[in-house]
Amino acid sequence: MSVLIAPSILSADFAALGDAIGAVERGGADLIHVDVMDGHFVPNITIGPPVVKSIRRVAKVPLDVHLMIADPDHYLDAFAEAGAAMLSVHVEVLPHLHRTVHAIKALGVKAGVVLNPSTPVGALEEIAGDVDYVLVMSVNPGFGGQTFIPRSESKVRAVRALLDRAGNSAAVEIDGGIDKHNVARVVAAGVRVVVAGSAVFHSPDPERATRELKAAALAGLPAASVPR
């Protein structure tokens, strides 16, 4: 697997989401990352299923939906129906995570689990064989434009090792404070799905920023796996 780039529309102009998505797709975006926040699990409110449904109509690439909400179980159907190809849920809010992961899969959607910066990798020990991907938060969730937490790099290595021990080739995704200067390091640590919001949409040219981020990410791959 190469590295997938998933621009986060959280930092885009919400009045012109179609244009924003078109630009990053021209720049080589592989996924569109959609941040759903409820004002309870995180101190911010963003978008819900109707907006995901509208985005689905214009996006050519799959939607990677990141649920930062207190009660994700209640909304899985709605987001699957709206067109999410990937749904990730935070381990911090789910006492029955195994049930939730399998409920997502039963909807025909890829199931991801997310770790906050303070959540230990060990929280995944019993679920590592079941997940389709693991999202490592490299900032505290809730806002775009925050600074990358350096310890996240070793956390990515630990998650990769845990998945490998479980015999699971599931990808590790990273989210928060990623730009073209630090992306190669996290890819070298094992990241294969890169989320970036402000680095893409706060740049004057999101299409070019996506292209540059992808090139920088590929530079972090081990030489043997770089696509020709």
Does 12 sit near ligand DX5 (CB under 6 A)? no
Active site includes 30? no
Q: In what order do the strands lie in the sheet with 171-175?
A: 4-7, 191-196, 171-175, 133-137, 110-115, 86-90, 63-68, 32-37
CB of 8 to Zn ion, least distance (A): 6
Residue 142 binds: one of Zn ion, ligand DX5, none (C-beta under 5 to 8 A by kind) = ligand DX5
Map the footprint of Zn ion across residues 159-178, applying CB under 5 A: 175
Binding to Zn ion by CB under 5 A, coded x per residue (else -) over 102-141, reads ----------------------------------------
109's contact among Zn ion, ligand DX5, none, with CB below 5 to 8 A by partner kind, is none
Reported as half-sphere exposure (CB side, CA atoms, 13 A), residue 52 has a value of 28
Q: What is the spatial distance between Cα 17 and Cα 59, in angstroms, rounded to a whole number?
A: 10
The yes or no reply on residue 18 touching ligand DX5 (CB under 6 A) is no
Q: Is 35 a catalytic residue?
A: yes
Are 109 and 133 in contact by the 8 Å Cβ rule? The answer is: no
As a whole number of angstroms, the distance between CA 115 and CA 137 comes to 6
The catalytic residue among 30, 64, 132, 175 is 175
Q: What gap in Å lies between CA 173 and CA 112, rounded to an integer? A: 9
Binders of ligand DX5 among 208-227, rule CB under 6 A? none
Q: Which residue is nearest to ligand DX5 (CB)?
A: 197
The position carrying tokens 């109509």 is 57
- Name the one residue in this structure whose structure tokens are 């350096």: 150
Distance from the Cα of residue 107 to its chain's centroid: 19
Binding pattern for the stretch 62-101 against ligand DX5, x by CB under 6 A and - elsewhere: ----x-----------------------------------
204: burial class by Cβ within 10 Å (0-12, 13-18, 19+)?
A: exposed
Q: Residue 65 in contact with residue 86, Cβ under 8 Å?
A: yes
> Which residues are the active-site residues?
35, 175
User: Which parts of this chain interact with Zn ion (CB under 5 A)?
Assistant: 35, 66, 175
User: Which parts of this chain interact with ligand DX5 (CB under 6 A)?
Assistant: 8, 10-11, 33, 35, 66, 139, 141-146, 175-178, 195-199
